[in-house]
Amino acid sequence: MFAPLPLQDGFDNAGMQIGLTDAEITGVLLCLDVTEDIVDEAVASGCNLIVSHHPLIFSPLKRITGATYVERCVMKALQNGVSIYSAHTNIDNASGGVNYRIAQKLGLENVKILVPKENALLKLSVYVPVAAADAVRDALFAAGCGNIGAYDSCSYNVAGYGTFRAGEGTNPFCGTVGELHKEEEMRIDTILPSYLKSRVTKALLAAHPYEEPAYDFYSLANAWESVGAGVVGELPEAADERDFLLKIKNTFAAGCVRHTSFVGKKVKKVALCGGAGASFAGAALAAGADLYLTGEARYHDLFSYDGKMLVAFIGHYESEQFTMEIFKEIISAAHPDIKVKTTEVNTNPVQYM
């Protein structure tokens, strides 16, 4: 699955916002932000599902009286049978997500995650009779184990033997009740995202022939290199700082590109994060980036890069506008028969004069 919800950051509220989950989809309207105009557009165009990047409901609602635009959107969506789903930091953090798309638009190569996600991986060791090892391993892979970067089916297998004595009332797969038994076994080690733990446990227990399989999950201190915030990549050819900023301005149709002082060297390595990504500028500098691009930054975020790295910001909406392309590609590939419409409403609240 692409950008599963457990990849979202702790502060986020991605996922179903307003859900009539058993309704048949009549059409999908794609947007960055849900506003009343967007709900109106969905209704007028016969789309009963809105897929947005930014969650409509971010802070808990205590009442729905129509006092705020969020409450009015909730009311309007419910009255018109419109469901709303938001893919936010789960698609920001995904390999191939928002930041990969921005990197692609700028022609970056060798693109990698800038700040890989921590505390998100587990290691699983399971002990299996040799004859059942292939079946259990396959079941674990099918449940989502063994993916490292672009490699799948990764495991380490070591042969040994297990011992056990089956007690009264058991029905052992091998050996005899009441007698000490030795069985040739395989220990299979593999890796998985923490959020798949219960699914993997279920698959393991279903495939393992023993009544009481022995298995251990370990928390890993390794960062998850293919998931996380921002990306870093390289331009095929080093570019002049001013020329590259102009390319950014044109690519994103930005009303304004704000930036720190020119460093005076060519831009080759570029780090970026769509939206409000100023907090990752330090990571960009540590990664050796010549330029860090994000959507928005505060005044005090911009000190300490002078002479070291060019920081540019082009507007939150502008930086994330291509997210709608990703939505369209995924939905159209999975459900070619469903109508998918990109909004005609520009929801950017920021104007330039």
Minimum gap (Å) between residue 274 Cβ and Zn ion: 6
Q: In the window 161-180, what residues touch Zn ion (CB under 5 A)?
A: none
Choice between 318 and 320, CB closer to Zn ion:
320
**Helices 98-105 and 323-334, axial angle in degrees (round to 10):** 110
Nearest to 301, CA basis, from 279, 271, 319, 283 = 279
Choice between 301 and 320, CB closer to Zn ion:
320
Taking CB under 5 A as the binding criterion, the range among 148-156, 267-275, 299-307, 345-353 that sits at the site for Zn ion is: 267-275
Residue 94 structure tokens: 């995904």
Separation of alpha carbons 313 and 319, rounded Å: 8
Residue 2 structure tokens: 């692409």
Minimum gap (Å) between residue 64 Cβ and Zn ion: 24
Choice between 172 and 275, CB closer to Zn ion:
275
Choice between 103 and 133, CB closer to Zn ion:
103
Q: Nearest to Zn ion by Cβ — which residue?
A: 275
Minimum gap (Å) between residue 208 Cβ and Zn ion: 44
The 225-264 site mask, x for binding Zn ion (CB under 5 A), equals ----------------------------------------
List 193, 230, 275, 315, residue binding Zn ion (CB under 5 A) = 275
Q: In the window 308-337, what residues touch Zn ion (CB under 5 A)?
A: 320
Choice between 241 and 320, CB closer to Zn ion:
320
Choice between 53 and 76, CB closer to Zn ion:
53
Separation of alpha carbons 96 and 340, rounded Å: 20
Task: Give contact residues for Zn ion (rule: CB under 5 A).
Answer: 275, 320
